[in-house]
Amino acid sequence: MTLRLTGGTIVRSLRPPVVESSDLAIEAGRIAPDAAVRAGSERVDCTGCLVIPGNVCAHTHLYSSLARGMPYRLAPPRSFLEILQRVWWRLDRALDPATIRASALAGGMEALLAGTTTLIDHHASPAAVDGSLDVIASALAELGIRSVLCYETSDRDGPEIARVGLDENGRFLATVQTGAHPLARGMVGAHASFTLSDETLAACAELARDRGVGLHVHVAEDAIDERDAERRDGVRVAARLAAAGALDRRSLLAHGVHLRADEIATIKAAGATLVHNARSNMNNGVGRAPVVALGDRVALGTDGIDADMFEEGRTAYLRHREENHGTGLGWPLDRLAEGARVAGEAFGEPLLGSLEAGAPADLVVLRYPAVTPVDASNLAAHWLFGFRSSAVRDVIVGGELVVRDGRPVRIDAEDVAAEARVGAARLWRRLDEIDVHPFEPLGVR
Ligand SMILES: [Zn+2]
């Protein structure tokens, strides 16, 4: 497909902001070096629109897509651990291949419609581990969205499930190598220090090193993670990960709320990236992450709430500004660029997240009749206070139009919603029969 986007304002880069008024051509899935008319190219009129790089959500859980509005009959959770034991560790055990697929389709479609072109997902389905990442990759391929997938290895359901979880990561990484999923790549997934034995953690780190990919793991989301590591090994979480060989420049660490200064130094020295999930942290009441201390290597994720990075960026900024007036308007844009850098590394595409010549053509056309001028100097202000996912008109991934006029192109939105509703009914029925998860970290009582 050769496309020519005409009459729009192009955001070529977020870090640093580069904005220009020009046409844009897409050829063989990439941004062409010039906007000249090419034979057979389709023209997309972008008059009155902004063309921006597609957003990257650097940490999400597609498996939670069907949790919206589900009935809940147990006593209300009183802590982060009880939220896991009573909600998420029951929901993940209720998943089967049909509901994994329905969740991925529903969450993936919402992501595209919100202008998110890459999802970095962290998946758990302990009763249906083997092949689960292929189910997700296939569902996302139907939509045409890019992804970096992993399975959440954990000892919380016993050593056998930990072993098959690790195997699923290895199996999927090998499948991706065959070219079976052109829009998907893999990482090695691990839940969190507090549900990983020394052996399992070391095995995850070894697999990631072996395959040359990063480890994607929750870190210090709640104080229980730190207490468990201290009881288990007499060290804090970052030191435990480092000792296991699980911390390097490819590591993707979600949350980091309870990291101490010495741990932040360890993470920075390793060159790892932290994913900040502001809305999730607020919703779970786990505390506020020390995001400024972590410096440049901070990306943004939604932790499964949705995949709306405009909303996440705005909330993260406002929550942060509440106590840090020194944080500039450009902070969320830099965080989005960092997420794109991580995704680009997984795909071997250093230009991913920009619209420079040669970059993969992942972009979003926003209806944005700007009421004040837009240029590189004030892009960040428009992003924060003007951009909305409801303004997403068209979405292009790898050079293909996958959303046109606010509707998915490859798949019928109503069909996806119908499959999701059937899946939700099935998932909620199964969930009803699953008890509170008995796993407890060390140091809780
Ligand atoms: Zn998470």
- Which has the minimum average pLDDT: 21-35, 178-192, 317-331? 317-331
Centre of ligand 1 from the C-alpha of residue 23, in Å: 39
pLDDT digits (tens, 9 = 90+) for 31-58: 999 998 888 899 999 999 999 999 999 9
Centre of ligand 1 from the C-alpha of residue 218, in Å: 6
pLDDT of residue 144: 98
CB-based contacts of 222, cutoff 8 Å, min separation 6: 79, 80, 81, 257, 258, 284, 286, 287
pLDDT of residue 251: 98
pLDDT of residue 445 exceeding 80: no
Centre of ligand 1 from the C-alpha of residue 329, in Å: 26
Query: Is 249 in contact with 275 (CB distance < 8 Å)?
Result: no
Give the model's confidence band at 97: pLDDT under 50 very low, under 70 low, under 90 confident, else very high: very high
Q: Report the DSSP beta bridge partners of residue 19.
A: 11
Centre of ligand 1 from the C-alpha of residue 191, in Å: 8
pLDDT of residue 176: 98
Centre of ligand 1 from the C-alpha of residue 43, in Å: 40
Q: In whole angstroms, give the CA distance from residue 249 to residue 266.
A: 12
Average pLDDT over residues 391-416: 98
pLDDT above 90 covers what percent of the chain?
95
Centre of ligand 1 from the C-alpha of residue 154, in Å: 13
pLDDT of residue 370: 92
Mean pLDDT of the chain: 96
Centre of ligand 1 from the C-alpha of residue 7, in Å: 40
Centre of ligand 1 from the C-alpha of residue 254, in Å: 6
Centre of ligand 1 from the C-alpha of residue 61, in Å: 6
Give the model's confidence band at 327: pLDDT under 50 very low, under 70 low, under 90 confident, else very high: confident
pLDDT of residue 225: 97
Q: Report the DSSP beta bridge partners of residue 403.
A: 395, 408
Instruction: Report yes or no on whether pTM surpasses 0.95.
Output: yes
Coil, strand or helix at 10 = strand
Q: Nearest to residue 283, comparing CAs of 63, 80, 73?
A: 80
pLDDT of residue 326: 85
pLDDT of residue 286 exceeding 90: yes
pLDDT digits (tens, 9 = 90+) for 56-88: 999 999 999 999 999 999 999 999 999 999 999
Centre of ligand 1 from the C-alpha of residue 259, in Å: 16
pLDDT digits (tens, 9 = 90+) for 116-171: 999 999 999 999 999 999 999 999 999 999 999 999 999 999 999 999 999 999 99
pLDDT digits (tens, 9 = 90+) for 267-279: 999 999 999 999 9
Centre of ligand 1 from the C-alpha of residue 339, in Å: 15
pLDDT digits (tens, 9 = 90+) for 407-437: 999 999 999 999 999 999 999 999 999 999 9
Average pLDDT over residues 88-115: 98
Count H helices and E strands in the chain, helices first: 14, 20
Query: Is 276 in contact with 301 (CB distance < 8 Å)?
Result: yes
Dihedral class, residue 201 (left if φ above 0, else alpha if ψ from -120 to 50, else beta) = alpha
